Structure 1
Amino acid sequence: MLGAPFLNGLTGPANAPMARLMFDDLDEVRSDLARRLTRAAKDRRSPMHVPAVVTSDVDARTMVLRAFDPQEWTLRFHTDTRAPKVDAIKADPRMAVLFYDKGAKIQIRVRGTGEVLEQDALTDAAWANSANFARRCYLGDGPGAVSDAPTSGLPTQFEGVEPTEEEVAPGRPNFAVLRITLDALDWFYLAHTGHVRAQFVRNGEDWEGRWVSP
């Protein structure tokens, strides 16, 4: 997997001295990567909270990162079962996700295998823990539905209105969890003194890392 090409790294000056973020140990880099993904899932103010998610049909979209499991190395997102990306993932589960923290000058790219979970305990829990205001999105037209005028796709009665538990219940069949199991990681630090890059590939329960030229 490490042999596959990644996007070219971004360039630009770093505001902080290199010593503040530079690591000389691959295990430290992987730990830093895990910490950043953990924070991205928990803190909506994190610059990595809404990454770009890429499917095998060469399409990309920004999505909210809902959870990161540092033990299993999985990412969790929410999606609509009617979204075109669901069919793309089912046809070819290869996926990539791009994170960038402008302040820290760190870019993280990951690759893995996606799966759409519709009727299971994890999805039930994710639905139960979502606010009704968010769940109302699954009541309207499916993503990509054509309209003659600008539209939110929501039923008129729920425009700007939070529905009740009973009112959002019909949206549950349209709700799913997208889980991506990671198998390749790319950590890139942009520094005016010289960029630094590390890559990791999953080997069973372990990760094999190496330094690479930016």
Structure 2
Amino acid sequence: MQSPVVATADADARVMVLRAFDSEAWTLRFHTDLRSPKCGVIGDAAPVGVLFYDKPEKVQIRVRGVGRIEHNTPLADQAWSESTNFAKRCYLGDGPGAASDVATSGLPDWAEGIQPSDEQVAPVRANFAILLIELQELDWFHLANSGHIRAQFSRVGDDWEGRWVSP
């Protein structure tokens, strides 16, 4: 379930790599390019939905929460420092959605297929951000030949309330 689908309020959806889950704050963390359109849609606070599916376990989890983009914060700095230079290389290229006359990774030619040095990736820290989603609702669905099972959970303050519902 490391690569869920993340949907924003503009009905755009994309697969993203889940980088961390904070069980105390009930937040999911993803890395993103600050130049991405989703950063403008989410900003400081916007509704975000995330869909996970575990095929072997036949479990679907849908969550809803409030997303926010962080760029110049200690948590974003930590996420950047913990990333490999190969991962940081993605931020060297043109911003997401930049037009091209040919199929392209968007990376500069010199960066194709290499792991750049610390000095080469340092300037593109400005393009790096994190998406944090504070979870508010969770819908758990288990597919089974004997009959599907579904439960819903809602956050009430610091607690969660759950109930069984019909699939």
Place the TM-score, normalised by the shorter chain, in its bin: over 0.9
Q: Do 1:56 and 1:92's aligned partners in 2 also have CA atoms closer than 8 Å?
A: no
- Give the percent of matched residue pairs that are identical in Structure 1 and Structure 2: 62
For residues 143 and 92 of structure 1, the distance between their equivalents in structure 2, rounded to whole angstroms, comes to 21
Q: Do 1:106 and 1:190's aligned partners in 2 also have CA atoms closer than 8 Å?
A: yes
Kindly report the root-mean-square deviation, in angstroms, between the aligned alpha carbons of the 2 structures.
0.9
Runs of 4+ in 1 over 4 A off after TM superposition: none
Structure 1 stretches lacking a partner, 5+ long: 1-47
1:99 equivalenced with 2:21 (yes/no): no
User: Measured at CA, do residues 92 and 204 of structure 1 come closer, stay the same or move farther in structure 2, by a change above 3 Å?
Assistant: closer
2:23 pairs, out of 67, 70, 82, with: 70
Deviation string 1:35-61 (CA, Å, 9 cap, x unpaired) is: xxxxxxxxxxxxx01000000000000
Q: Do 2:45 and 2:68's aligned partners in 1 also have CA atoms closer than 8 Å?
A: no
TM-score of the two chains, using structure 1 as the length reference: 0.77
- How many residues are matched? 167
Give the residue type in structure 1 aligned to 2:166: S
- Give 1:208 deviation, angstroms: 1.0
Specify which structure has the higher proportion of helix: 1
2:133 pairs, out of 180, 186, 199, with: 180
Match of 2:2 in 1: 49
Structure 2 stretches lacking a partner, 5+ long: none
- Give 1:91 deviation, angstroms: 7.9
Larger radius of gyration: 1
Deviation string 1:122-175 (CA, Å, 9 cap, x unpaired) is: 010100010001101111100000001100000110000111000000110000
Specify which structure has the higher proportion of strand: 2
For residues 48 and 75 of structure 2, the distance between their equivalents in structure 1, rounded to whole angstroms, comes to 20
Match of 1:159 in 2: 112
TM-score of the two chains, using structure 2 as the length reference: 0.98
